[in-house]
Amino acid sequence: MLIVDCEKCIGCGVCEENCPFGAIAVVDGCAVVGDGCNLCGGCVETCEVDALHIEGAEKKARADLEEWSGIWVFAEYRYGRVAPVAYELLGIGRQLADQRGVPLSAVFLGAGIEDQAGLLVAAGADTVFLVDDPFLEDYREDVYGRVLVELIREHKPEVVLAGATAIGRSVIPQVATVLGAGLTADCTGLAIREEDGMLLQTRPAFGGNVMATIVCPRSRPQMATVRPKVMVPAEPDPGRDGEVIRVVPAAGVLSSKVEVLGSVQSEQDQVNIQEVEILVAGG
C-alpha cells in the first residue's frame, strides 16, 4: 500500500506528473492515491521530501554513488546522419562534465557509422563507444535497449542523456526500467547541484504552468531525455582529440523478435518541425 505523509507533502505535483498510471492527484495541497496505483514505486523515487513510502516494503537500497562516474550522451543516428539533438546534448553534457570534473562520453549505435564517430569527438566527447554492426541499421527498441543496458552496467556512468525524440522516448524508458534508474522525460533544463553533485532536471509540469526540478538521489544512473532545440549545440573543434572505443556486444544481444520488412523515407521535401528555429501555429 502506498502511504502519503501529508505533513511532509508540499503539494508540488511531481508525483502526479510522473505517475505512468495517472493514479495520483494533488488535492488540497496533499497527494491522494487512487485505485489505479500498482505500487511501481516511481513516485517514491521522485519525491524530494520523502512524503511517500510503500508500506511493508524496504526502501530501495541506496546505490553506491562512488561507483558511478561520467556523463553519457546517447547520440542518435538515423538515415545517414547524426541527429541534431545529439550535438545539443554534447553541448550541455560538456558543461556538466566540466563542472563535475568527469569525462563526457557518447554512445553511438548504427551500421556503417565509424567514419562519423569523429564528429562526436569534435563536438566535445572525450570518448565515443562505437557499436557499428549491420544488424543495427534498422532501429529495434529491444536491441538498442539491450546494447545500452550492457554498456551502462559495465561502465557505470552517473548521468545518461538522450533526446526526447521518437527513438529516445521509445528506448530510454525501457533502459531505465531494466536498470531500476530514475528518469525525467522532456527536460528543458539541466544543472549540477554544487553541494552534492546531483543532477537537477527541470521540466514543465501541470501543462506547462509550472516548472518542476527533479532529482534522483537514490539510484544511478540519473537519466533524462531532453527536448530538441532547447540546448545550445556544441561548437565543433575538428582538431580536438578523443578516443573511439569499438564495442562488440555479447552473444545474444544483437537478436530481436522484431523483423523489419522495410523502411521508407518520404520522397517529398518536408520540414522537421523539431529542428526549426521558429514555428508559428494557428488554431
Give pLDDT, residue 62: 52
Mean pLDDT taken over the chain: 89
Q: Of 275, 242, 263, which Cα lies nearest the Cα of 125?
A: 242
For residue 266, is it within any domain?
no
Give pLDDT, residue 113: 94
Do 90 and 8 share a domain, yes or no?
Answer: no
Do 118 and 31 share a domain, yes or no?
Answer: no
For residue 214, is it within any domain?
yes
Do 95 and 212 share a domain, yes or no?
Answer: yes
Give pLDDT, residue 268: 65
* Residue 145, pLDDT above cutoff 90: yes
Do 112 and 195 share a domain, yes or no?
Answer: yes
CATH number at residue 167: 3.40.50.620
In sequence order, the 6+-apart residues with CB closer than 8 A to the CB of 54 are 1, 2, 3, 39, 41, 44
User: Bridge partners of 183?
Assistant: 223
Q: How far is CA 266 from CA 110, 187, 261, in A?
A: 21, 29, 17
Distance CA 96, CA 129 (A): 19
Do 50 and 69 share a domain, yes or no?
Answer: no
Do 123 and 16 share a domain, yes or no?
Answer: no
Distance CA 145, CA 122 (A): 26
Average pLDDT over residues 256-270: 76
Distance CA 58, CA 150 (A): 27
Give pLDDT, residue 35: 84
For residue 25, is it within any domain?
yes
Average pLDDT over residues 157-168: 95
Do 39 and 70 share a domain, yes or no?
Answer: no
For residue 86, is it within any domain?
yes
For residue 10, is it within any domain?
yes
**Which tens digit of pLDDT belongs to each residue from 207-261?**
777 888 999 888 899 999 999 999 999 889 999 999 999 999 887 888 888 888 8
Average pLDDT over residues 28-41: 87
Do 233 and 96 share a domain, yes or no?
Answer: yes
Distance CA 141, CA 271 (A): 25
Do 24 and 77 share a domain, yes or no?
Answer: no
Q: Of 224, 31, 244, which Cα lies nearest the Cα of 117?
A: 244
Instruction: Domain of residue 137: give its range.
Output: 65-246
CATH number at residue 8: 3.30.70.20
Predicted model pTM: 0.74
Indicate the number of domains in the chain. Answer: 2
**Which tens digit of pLDDT belongs to each residue from 169-218?**
999 999 999 998 989 999 999 999 998 899 999 998 877 778 889 998 88
**Which tens digit of pLDDT belongs to each residue from 95-109?**
999 999 999 999 999
For residue 94, is it within any domain?
yes
Do 140 and 103 share a domain, yes or no?
Answer: yes
Average pLDDT over residues 119-139: 94
Residue written as cell 537519466? 223
* Residue 58, pLDDT above cutoff 50: no
Q: Are 71 and 102 in contact (CB under 8 A)?
A: yes
Give pLDDT, residue 79: 81
Q: Are 181 and 217 in contact (CB under 8 A)?
A: no
Q: What's the grid cell of residue 222?
A: 540519473
Do 86 and 166 share a domain, yes or no?
Answer: yes
For residue 219, is it within any domain?
yes
Q: What percent of the chain has pLDDT over 70?
A: 96
pLDDT band at 63 (very low <50, low <70, confident <90, very high): low
**Which tens digit of pLDDT belongs to each residue from 15-26?**
998 888 888 999
Do 38 and 87 share a domain, yes or no?
Answer: no
DSSP SS3 for 118: helix
For residue 260, is it within any domain?
no
